[in-house]
Amino acid sequence: MHNHRALRGLACALSLLLACTDKGGDTTEETGTEGTQTTDAATTDAQTTETQPTDAQTTDVETGAPVAGCECADGDPCSVELCETASLVEDEDTGGQDETQLELALTCALEALRDRKVGHIGWHVRSGAGQIDEHGHFEMFGDGTARSTRGGVADLCEWIVDDVTVVTLKDPSVFAGCLTEPAIEKRFSCLRQAELDYQSTCVEGETDCSGV
């Protein structure tokens, strides 16, 4: 009888020991599994961080570089005024043309074009009692290119947004020849039509021809 009780007690003790051992194994296994999952997540995050493009790279790909030649902020060398605006006025009601001012302004502007100077030169033409009232200017970069701006009124059309483009200027020898032209109108045309070729658009001009 005592032996049976002893055996039962020993069996119970062994059962409890095995149960505790199994439970401890489950805990260790679960902990180990969680640790493995945590490590894998960290590895995944690290890989994602390494392959994720930077903001700068995304910006470069999506927007690209700014158009060359369109940048000419106030204070930049290209914005410095080199000459007075050359104004050709053919309206009697405005008092006529100031020949002296136009001569000086044209000579200054054509010399700047000839010498490939860096800076700003401008022109303005008015005729037909305001039917033609156009203006423009060149912001020159010294390398034969410039930012050209044009606007104003031409017949029944009006520029409500000035057209701004990057242009290649004519050869310096062309402007050297213009300086020898006796007719002031021809010298003015040399300035007004100084561009040789179009390169790119900075601001697309907009006109209103509702009067047509």
pTM above 0.85, yes or no: no
Comparing 40 with 129, the larger pLDDT belongs to 129
User: Which pair of structure tokens corresponds to residue 41?
Assistant: 């997540």
Name the percent of the chain in helix, strand, coil, to the closest 5.
Answer: 45, 30, 25
Question: Which residue from 139, 132, 193, 144 is spatially nearest to 165, judged by alpha carbons?
Answer: 139
Q: Is 152 left (phi over 0), alpha (psi -120 to 50) or beta?
A: left
Question: Does pLDDT of 11 surpass 50?
Answer: no
- Do 166 and 150 form a contact (C-beta atoms < 8 A)? no
Q: Evaluate if residue 109 carries a pLDDT over 80.
A: yes
